C-alpha cells in the first residue's frame, strides 16, 4: 500500500477524516495483506464509527490438525460468528464478501 500511495516512514496519511503517521512498512508477499494497514483496534473503530465492534480476527493454530476441534468450540461459544479458513477468507475478500 505504501508504494501505491507513494508514502514512506514518517509521512502523514489521511484515513476518512483522521490523520495518521506512517511508522513502518511491511511486506508479506501476499497481495491481499500488502494492500492493507495495521493500526490500533481502538483507532480503527473510531475511524469507522464502529465502537466495540470487530469484523475479522485471526487464530493461528499451533497444531493445524486441531482445526475442526477449535472450529467446533468457537461455534459453540459464539454461534453468531462466521468461520473461514485462510483460503476461504481470501476468496471472500477478493469477491468483496466479508
Regarding whether 74 and 43 lie in a shared domain, the answer is no
Whether residue 22 is found in the same domain as residue 43: yes
The region that residue 96 occupies, defined by phi over 0 for left and psi between -120 and 50 for alpha, beta otherwise, is left
- Judge if 60 and 89 occupy the same domain: yes
In this predicted model, what pLDDT tens digit does every residue of 17-40 receive, in sequence order?
899 999 999 988 888 788 888 999
Q: What is the pLDDT of residue 18?
A: 92
Domain count, the chain: 2
CA trace torsion 89, 14, 34, 4 (10° rounding): 130
- In this structure, the answer to whether residues 46 and 93 fall within a common structural domain is no
**Is 62 found in the same domain as 22?**
no
Same domain, 75 and 93: yes
19 φ, ψ (degrees, to nearest 5):
-100, 140
40 and 12 together in one domain: yes
> pTM of whole model > 0.85?
no
List the domain range (segments joined by +) for residue 2. Answer: 1-53
Amino acid at each position: 500500500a505504501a508504494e501505491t500511495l507513494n508514502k514512506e516512514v514518517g509521512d502523514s496519511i489521511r484515513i476518512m477524516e483522521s490523520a495518521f503517521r506512517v511508522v513502518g512498512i511491511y511486506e508479506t508477499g501476499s497481495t491481499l495483506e500488502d494492500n492493507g494497514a495495521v493500526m490500533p483496534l481502538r483507532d480503527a473503530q473510531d475511524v469507522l464509527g464502529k465502537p466495540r465492534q470487530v469484523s475479522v480476527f485471526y487464530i493461528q493454530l499451533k497444531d493445524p490438525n486441531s482445526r475442526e476441534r477449535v472450529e467446533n468450540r468457537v461455534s459453540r461459544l459464539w454461534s453468531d460468528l462466521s468461520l473461514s479458513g485462510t483460503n476461504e477468507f481470501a476468496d471472500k475478500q477478493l469477491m468483496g464478501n466479508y
